[in-house]
A and B are shown apart, each in its own frame.
Chain A
Amino acid sequence: MYDEFLSLCGYSPDEISEQKNRVQQAFAKLGLTEEDIERGVDRIRRFYAVDLEPVRLLLGVWVKELVDTMMAGEEKKKIIYSEWPGANCVLNMGGVTACEDVHFATPVSQTFMIVLGGIFGKLAPFLEAGESLGLPPARAHCGLWQMHVGVIASGLIPKPDLIITSQYICDQAAEADQLLEDLYGIPVVYLDGCCDWQYGEMPSKRQVELVAGRMHKIKERIEEVCGVPFPQEAVMAGFKDMAKTYFFHKALADIMVAADPQPISQANLDLVYFAQFTTLQHRKQYQQAAMALAKDLKRLAKEGKGVVPKGSPRVYLAFRFPGQPDVYQMIEELGLAVPLALLDYLPPEEPDANTYNDLMEIIAKSVYRNAPPCTAYSNIRYNVNSCKAFDLDGAIEFYPLGCRPYSITPLMIRKAISDELGIPSIVLEWGGYDPRDYPAEQFRSRMETFAETVRISRDIKRA
C-alpha cells in the first residue's frame, strides 16, 4: 500500500526504495496506520487529478515537506517554525537559503492541512491535542492554532528552537505562541504590528515601518539561534520565492478563469496556492510541477475537457479548503464552475505616495497589500472586485468561524456584492482548519438552492 501511495504522490521507483523507510518512520510518529494509508490512496484518487503527472508531483512535494519536519529532530541541528499569516513567513523562506543545518518549516497551516487533512482526512487527533492543552473546544478557536499548540506542546512534532509569530493581522497566533512560551518555555519572537489605518485607506508608512523594524530584529534573532549570518540576500531570496510562487499560481488561475469548461477541480490548485506561504524544502520539484501543470491545463482547455459542463454558471469562492477537497467536488458536482478562489485575483496596485528602499519595508508593504483580512474595507473591496473583474455570476462567501479577521466581513461583503453588482451570494460559516462539524455534505442542500438561484439570476441577466 505504501508503494501505491508514494507512487500516487509522484515518487519514482528509485525514490520509493530509498525513502520508504523514512516516510514510514515519519508517519508512525504521527500515528498514521495502514488503514490511514489505504484511505489516503482512496482520497487521492477521488479528489485530485492524479492522471496528470504534475499533480502527483505536487502531492509529493507536500508529503516530503511533512516527512522532513517529522524527521528534523534527528536530521537537523536547529528547528524554526512559523505559521501564517504575516511577513514572518518570508523570513522563514529566506532562512532555508541562509542556514542549511536548520529546518525552517510552516508545519501546520499548510503542510498538515494538505497532507493530514486533504490526503488522509485525519486532523481530529491533532485538533484534540490542542483542545486539551489550552485552546478548548466550543470557543471558536482557530483550528490552526489548536493544532499548532497541540502538536508542539505534546511533542508530536519536534520541539522548535524558535517560533516566529505575528500579531497584526490575527491575534490568536501570538496568543497561542505566548502560551507555548509561558507554559512550555519555547522561545518565541513576535512580529508585532497594528492594522490601524483608517477605513477606506491603505497602510501608511508608519504601519509598514513598524513591521519592517520588527523584521530586522527577528532576522538578528534567527542569526543568534542558528549561529550563522542571515544575509540580506537570503531574505531577498525568500521574498523572491514567495513572489515567484504567487505568480506560478497566478498563471494557473489565469488559465482557469479563461477556460470553459473549468478544466480541473480547484482542489488541485490548492497544491500550488499554499506553497506561497510555506518554506518548501523541495522547491525545485514544486516549480517544475507547477510549470508542467500550466501546460496540462492549457491542453485540457483547448480540448474542451473539464469537471463541469461547458457554459456552467461561474462563481467566486471566498475561501480555499486544503483540508477538505470534497467541498470543491460537491460544488462542482452541482454544476457550478469555480474559476476563481481566494487571492487568485491580483487587483491593480493602489496608488501609494510612499517609496520604500529597505527590503523589509518592501516585504511588509507587499504582505499588507496582499492580505484582505488586514481591514474590513480591503476585504470587501477584494471580494467585490474579484467578482466584477471576471463578470462572475455569483459568490460563495465561506468564512472560517475560528478566524476573527475573516469573521468581521461576510455580511458586509454580501451586502456590498448585492448593492454594487446585483448578483447572488451566499454566506456560509465553516470550520476552516477544523472540518469536524462542517463536512461537505452539510452544505449540499443550501448549495443546491444557491446553484439554482445563480442559474436563474444569470438567465434573467442574459435575457
Chain B
Amino acid sequence: MDAMNELKEHLAGRPFELKQAREKGTRIIGYVPGGFMPEELVYAAGALPVGLVRGGSSKAVAESASYLPRWIDTFCRSQIGHYMLEEDSLYRIIDLLVAPITDVNVRALADSFDFYTDIKTFRYGVPHDKEEDVTRYYLEGLYLLKEKLEEITGNKIEDSKLKEAIGQYNRMRALLGAIGELRKLEAPPISGRDFAWLNHASYLADMPTLIKCLESIYDELKGKEGARPLTRLLLIGSTLAMGDDKIFDLTEESGAAIVMEEFAEGMRHYWEPVNTNGDLMQALSDRYFTRRLPPAWSRPTKERVDFFRKMAGEFSANGILWYQLMYRDGYDVQSSYFQKITEAEMGVRMLKVESDYYPVEIGPQRTRIETFIEMISI
C-alpha cells in the first residue's frame, strides 16, 4: 500500500518534526493513550499531542525495575523504562504528561515520571461507573485540563478552534472505523497487524497527514480481497502497544485473522464521534466518557458483554483472544468470569493470554494459540 508506506515515512521523520516545532515554541503534550484524553483540546490550544504508546520491549521492562517494582502493569511500568533508556526521543521532548487516572497502574506511571524525571504530570480522574455524579466529575476534569493547557501554551482554547479539531478527529475516527469494518468481509483486505499499526500511528502522526493517508488507504483497500483466514478472532484486552506485535505473529502464523480489537489502552475507540451540536466540552465528555466502552476495571460489565456480543456477530468471529499484560488485575479478575459469559451467552470460545513482554513467553503462547485456533476451526 503506497499510502501506508507514505505514513511510515512520515512517522520516521515525526520525532524530528516535533523537535523542530518545540524549538519554535510549540508545546508538546504527552499523554497516556487510554482513550480518556481528548487530543482535540491539545490541538485547539496550539500544542501537539504525543501518545506514549511504545510497548513490547523487554529491555524497557528490565530498565523499569530500578524505578518501580514488577507488580505494576507491564505497559505502565515500561514507560519509565522507555524514558530512561533514551532510545525514543519522543519521551524526552514532552513538556507535560497528561495522565487521566483510570486505575492505580496509571497512577504508578504518572508517579514515576513525577519522581524520577523533570517532566511534570497533569492528572484528572476517570471514575469507574457512569452515574450522574461521576459523569459530572469527569467533565470537571476536562475543564481543569483545558485550563492547564491554556496556561502551558499561553493560548486560549476558542470554540472555533476546538470545533475544527473535533472535526479532524471525527474524520480520523470515521476513517479508522471504515478501514476496520472492511474486515467484516470473508477475505479481509487488511490484517489485524496493519490495522493496529494505523491506530498506533494515529497517536503520533500529524493529523492532516494522517487523514490524507487514511483516505488513500481506504480507497486502496476498498473492493480488494485478502486471504481467507482459517478462523476469525476478536482481540480484546488491557493494552496493545506499538511494538507489541507477537500476538499478531502467533495468530497469523496459525492461519487465523484478527478482525476486530478492543483495548483499554493503545487502540482507538473510533466507534463514536463527538457530536458538535451544543456545548463542546460537554460533547467531549459525552464521547470520551459516557459513550466510551468501559474498561474491565469499570462498571457495568453488561455494557462490555453487549458490545462484544454485537461485535462477534457483525465481524463473524469464531473466538475471542483475551490478551492482557501482567498484574493488570482489573482484566485478570474479569477474564475469569468473562470466559463463562462469552461461552454461555454468546456461544463464542475464549482464550486468555498474558504477557510481561518477555521473549521466552512466545513458545508456550504459540502452543496455546495454535491449539485454540485448531479447536475452534473444527
Contact = CB atoms under 8 A, between A and B. Distances in A.
Q: Do A and B come from one complex?
A: yes
Interface string B56-97: 000000000011110110000000000000000000000000
Given A134-B336, A196-B123, A139 B329 contact: yes
Nearest to A380: B115
Contact of A174 (B122, B128, B131, B354): B128
Interface string B321-361: 00000110110111011001000000000000010000000
Nearest to B297: A171
A139 B116 CA distance: 27
B272 interface: no
A20 interface: no
Nearest to B132: A213
B288 to A, nearest CB: 15
Interface stretch (A248-256, A299-307, A347-355, A404-412): A404-412
Contact of B104 (A170, A193, A206): A170
B128 A190 contact: yes
A399 B70 CA distance: 12
Given A139-B329, A408-B108, A134 B337 contact: yes
Nearest to B106: A196
B303 to A, nearest CB: 12
Contacts of B248: none
Contacts of A171: 103-104, 128, 297, 329-330
Size class of the contact patch on chain A: 35 or more
B133 A190 contact: no
Given A206-B140, A376-B114, A135 B123 contact: no
Contact of B333 (A134, A190, A412): A134
Interface in B113-167: 114-116, 120-129, 131, 133-134, 137, 140-141
A412 B330 CA distance: 25
Contacts of B103: 171, 404
A344 B354 CA distance: 39
A404 B71 contact: yes
Contact of A139 (B296, B326, B334): B326
Nearest to B138: A194
Contacts of A139: 326-327, 329, 332, 354
Contacts of A176: 333
Interface stretch (A1-9, A177-185, A231-239, A450-458): A177-185
A199 B111 contact: yes
A409 B131 CA distance: 32
Size class of the contact patch on chain B: 35 or more
Contact of A407 (B108, B110, B141, B299): B108
A99 interface: no
A136 interface: yes
Contacts of A174: 128, 297, 299
Contact of A408 (B72, B116, B128, B131): B72
Interface in A171-218: 171-172, 174-176, 178-179, 182-183, 190, 192-200, 206-207, 210, 213-214
Interface string A118-152: 00000000000000001110011100000000000
Contacts of B71: 140, 401-402, 404, 407, 429
Given A194-B126, A402-B71, A404-B71, A183 B337 contact: yes
A136 B107 contact: no
A276 interface: no
A141 B329 contact: yes
Nearest to A409: B111
A167 B68 contact: no
A401 B336 contact: no
Given A171-B330, A175-B333, A412 B115 contact: yes
Interface string B356-369: 00000000000000
B320 interface: no
Nearest to A213: B133
A324 interface: no
A206 B137 contact: yes
A375 B69 contact: no
B251 interface: no
A208 to B, nearest CB: 12
Contacts of B104: 170-171, 404-405, 408
A36 to B, nearest CB: 30
A297 B89 CA distance: 59
Interface string A21-48: 0000000000000000000000000000
B105 interface: yes
B45 interface: no
B129 A192 contact: yes
Contact of B133 (A199, A210, A405, A411): A210
Contact of B69 (A178, A199, A429): A429
Contact of A140 (B126, B137, B327): B327
Contact of A175 (B66, B69, B334): B334
A179 B297 CA distance: 11
Point out which of A136, A139, A402, A409 has the most chain B C-beta atoms below 10 A from its C-beta.
A139
B123 A197 contact: yes
A172 B333 contact: yes
A192 B72 CA distance: 21
Contacts of A199: 110-111, 114-115, 120-121, 123
Interface in A411-432: 411-412, 429
A190 B101 contact: no
Interface in A360-415: 375-377, 380, 399, 401-402, 404-405, 407-412
Minimum-distance CB pairs A-B, first 9 = A194-B125, A196-B125, A376-B111, A404-B104, A199-B114, A196-B101, A134-B336, A407-B71, A408-B108
19 contacts: A135-B336, A139-B329, A140-B327, A141-B329, A167-B128, A175-B329, A176-B333, A178-B299, A179-B333, A194-B125, A199-B114, A206-B137, A376-B111, A402-B71, A404-B71, A404-B105, A408-B68, A411-B68, A412-B67
Given A182-B337, A192-B127, 14 more contacts: A139-B326, A139-B327, A140-B71, A167-B128, A171-B330, A179-B336, A190-B128, A192-B134, A193-B127, A198-B123, A376-B108, A377-B114, A380-B115, A408-B112
Interface of B: 66-69, 71-72, 101, 103-105, 107-108, 110-112, 114-116, 120-129, 131, 133-134, 137, 140-141, 296-297, 299, 301, 326-327, 329-330, 332-334, 336-337, 340, 354
